[in-house]
Amino acid sequence: MLTRSFNTKLKQSITAMAVSASLLLGNLAQASDVEFEASGNIAVEQRYFFEEALDPQQLGHSQTSISIEPELYWQWNDGNDSVIFTPFYRVDSHDEQRTHGDIRELAYVHASDDWELRVGIRKEFWGVTEFQHLTDVINQTDGVEDFDGEDKLGQQMINLSLVNDWGIVDVFLLPGFRERTYAGEEGRLRGSFVVDEDNVNYESSAGQQHLDIALRWAHSVGDFDLGASWFHGTNREAYLSPSLEPTSSQVLELQQYYAQMDQLGVNVQATLGDWLWKFEGIHRSTSLEDFWASQAGFEYSFVGVFESNIDLGLLMEHSWDSRGEVELGAQGSLLQNDLFIGARLAFNDMQSSELLMGFGSDLDHNAFSFIIEANRRFGDNFIASIDVRLIQSNEENDLLYSLSNDDHAQLSLAWYF
């Protein structure tokens, strides 16, 4: 545990480094070799839910939203120094919580021969598996974007990356915590109860100002890509329990509690011919529980099926969590004993057409999910995507049951500039 005095000194050091970075960025205007690029996308998204929601407070069948995510990039000093700025904003037709903005990235990067320094707000991804990323704990999940956990909020950090012959070592100082976003009262793809965004408690007296730290080692040895990580700080997953405080809402709300945690993680990916083997495993310890979890599986690729340009990949993964069954008030996971089978098609055409289909089955309950994700480029600047998600659960004590009426199709059209 960090002592209070060390914590204070470390925060002072972070502040000093941030000020130094700001002064350095101020020299951009005086630099003669600055290169600037602007890109990004504007997307229109339409969801259609096939059934009425279980909760009458939720929206009906149709949900529309518009999002914008520009990316501004500067580089100078022969590319050794750079700044990236990626804001994001979405406007939703029904869910007030889904109308939200975020700074996905606002960071300065300096690269040297055997080290790299990154300061600011960034997204850092850890993981190798397809259907769940257990080791990926740096960024908070943006839960209003989708329920699959793939979308992340920007995280304040100082990251020093050291390159050695025996691997890359990353040191992270994370001076601020982001609370998870949840769908609102009218939103769909949420549980039976609304999560109260104003009723939040922390195990640490520092709350959102707690200084988290993390270490990661990554290395490639022959056909194997290896990674090991350690995280100490505020758990990105909240413990949810019924609120005892009266609210103006007509529905029961859940309060959030963020505990401190230590997590050790390992990920392995092996490329053996046409086989791609994947594994992620963690051990997480909090004041409320200790548990192990794993995600493991493979992808087998058929290149040029039926003498065409199409590549076919067959996927299978299994999720396991030592906590087993999960009840309201426990943190837990929906994926305590689940099997996933999928197929990926890469058409290798001029339009970069891709298709992913997946089927997931909870081996402890009569519950399953089915997904289709397809996208195709039109012209040079437009990408159309369609997602179909079907969810089935007949047991009311299963956490997936609250989403069983949320089968939907989602169509999006994005203009990239």
C-alpha 288/C-alpha 39 separation (Å) is 45
Task: Give the domain extent around 352.
Answer: 4-416
C-alpha 361/C-alpha 131 separation (Å) is 12
Please, what is the average pLDDT of the chain?
90
pLDDT per position as a tens digit, 59-90: 999 999 999 999 999 999 999 999 999 999 99
Per-residue burial over 215-235, b = 16 or more CB atoms within 10 Å of its CB, e = otherwise: ebbbeeeeeebebbbebbbbb
CATH number, position 78? 2.40.160.10
Give Cα separations from 103 to 16, 18, 127, 289 (angstroms). Answer: 22, 17, 22, 33
pLDDT per position as a tens digit, 83-129: 999 999 999 999 999 999 999 999 999 999 999 999 999 999 999 99
- The answer on pLDDT for 2 being more than 50 is no
**Is residue 14 very low, low, confident or very high in pLDDT (cuts 50, 70, 90)?**
very low
C-alpha 102/C-alpha 407 separation (Å) is 28
pLDDT of residue 312: 97
Question: Are the beta carbons of 24 and 17 closer than 8 angstroms?
Answer: no
Q: What is the DSSP letter of 165?
A: T
C-alpha 145/C-alpha 154 separation (Å) is 14
pLDDT of residue 331: 55
pTM (predicted TM-score) = 0.88
**Is residue 193 very low, low, confident or very high in pLDDT (cuts 50, 70, 90)?**
confident
pLDDT per position as a tens digit, 293-339: 999 999 999 999 988 999 999 999 999 999 886 654 455 577 889 99
Report the percentage of the chain scoring pLDDT > 70: 88
Find how far residue 385's CA is from the centre of its chain. Answer: 19
Q: How many domains does the chain have?
A: 1
- The answer on pLDDT for 30 being more than 90 is no
**Is residue 28 very low, low, confident or very high in pLDDT (cuts 50, 70, 90)?**
low
Instruction: For 257-307, give the DSSP string.
Output: EE-EEEEEEEEEEEEETTEEEEEEEEEEEESS-EEEEEEEEEEEEESSGGG
pLDDT of residue 220: 97
Comparing 73-77, 193-197, 396-400, the range with the smallest average pLDDT is: 396-400
pLDDT of residue 250: 58
- The answer on pLDDT for 285 being more than 60 is yes
> Mean per-residue pLDDT for 331-349?
88
pLDDT of residue 153: 98
pLDDT of residue 400: 80
- The answer on pLDDT for 17 being more than 70 is no
> Mean per-residue pLDDT for 229-234?
98
**Is residue 245 very low, low, confident or very high in pLDDT (cuts 50, 70, 90)?**
low
- The answer on pLDDT for 26 being more than 60 is no
Of 178 and 402, the one with more pLDDT: 178
C-alpha 106/C-alpha 295 separation (Å) is 32
- The answer on pLDDT for 221 being more than 90 is yes
Report the percentage of the chain scoring pLDDT > 90: 77
